[in-house]
Structure 1
Amino acid sequence: MSTFKLPSLAFEYGALEPYIDATTMEIHLTKHHNTYVTNVNNVLGGPNGAAIKGLSLEAIQRSVSSLDPAIQTAVRNSGGGHYNHTMFWTTLAGVGSANSAPFGDLKTAIESDFGSVDEMQKLFNTTAATRFGSGWAWLCVGDDGKLFITSTPNQDNPLMTGIADKPGTPILGLDVWEHAYYLKYNAARPAYIAAFWNVVNWDKVVENYSTAKSGGTAVMDVPMQ
């Protein structure tokens, strides 16, 4: 049976310094993310695993609300955690290794839907900073093709139709669980959020936007073994 495996980063743990420290990156990937992979694989190998067997990671997100309660919580938390983190890693880039700002059609859409890149970032920052407890902030493409910003608790994401407050296709996400920033920033979540913009892989986000506009989901390397 095919199972999910932990993805490899496209950069070294220290490549995001000084904005995100190497120790946090290593722990975040090898401990936190790895736990989600292990747990969703446990569901796949369990008595009710047939419900998600053969589904892509993206399809699993969309199916969560219709799953049997016996596995729904585990899939929501661990399947969501695997998807969210995998996307997060692909939209980060080492300092100076990718475009440092939106460009092309995405830039045009941001200016149309938010007024400016600065206004989009301000709204995103506020959304991330005010997410109560643990969760994520997202830049998404809606069913109407317009961009919007939202947040989700825990390991939920906007693909989870019937669960997300505002469903859509995420093209950029930020982890605001404390484990994502506490070693470096302690309780200063806004400082971590501000630093995040220095390591966004806008090349990938532009690619995600193009894919979402075509009706697909973010192109990610989600290997199975």
Structure 2
Amino acid sequence: MTALSVNLNKIALLRNARGGHLPDVARAGRTCLEAGAHGLTVHPRPDARHIRADDVHVLAGLCAQRGVEFNIEGNPFAPPRPAYPGLLALCTSARPAQVTLVPDGDGQLTSDHGFDFHRDGEALRPLIAALRALGCRVSVFVDVGNPDLGLAAALGAQRVELYTGPYAEAFAAGDPEPALVAAAATARAAQSVGLAVNAGHDLDQANLGRFLAAVPNVQEVSIGHALIGEALYAGLSATVRAYRTIIDASAAL
């Protein structure tokens, strides 16, 4: 069955907009897990605009206590700075179950493209090895249609996360089928070279079921922005339970 990992970045963004400790990121994480989420995701950025290093350690402890997966996303090439020790340093101290490498520039509002493995591969190779030596599973963010998934596997990655933003846009425009066909083909190509498949970005309650029905053997979806937005209307626990209902139904197909 596909696992649901809830991304807590937007909770931290709301807290940071006012300062102080509210809303409480750890309490939100506990609420998501108690409602049925299989794990938690964070994407700390160098400017500390939302999730901070101290949040990472608190949430790592929560996930360890609950026996669930903690997934840290980040740009492995971003250098340390005063509020950000660097992705490898964070993972060394937090020991997440999974690290998802994403090629975000410092100024990016959100992740919007996958890696070019011909350009970045040799720089990624030692970082992937270092993360795996910590006991972390390593996933790399890829565009649907990436032709170099075999190279990703050769670099040591164990999973890919399909960037689903274009699918979400196509779904909203009423023509998702070509994007679904392409995503399914990319998933099969990844699996054929030994990579498991995750997915994330702009997935929501409206488009998730269709995606999981079309794309084979998705191991995990990481959902944050839409889930937190929907929770403003329906409540966090109810929203997580609604996502679990969609995922559980897809597993029964």
TM-score, structure 2 as length reference: 0.25
Structure showing the higher strand proportion among its residues: 2
Which is bigger in relative contact order (C-alpha 8 A, separation at least 6)? 1
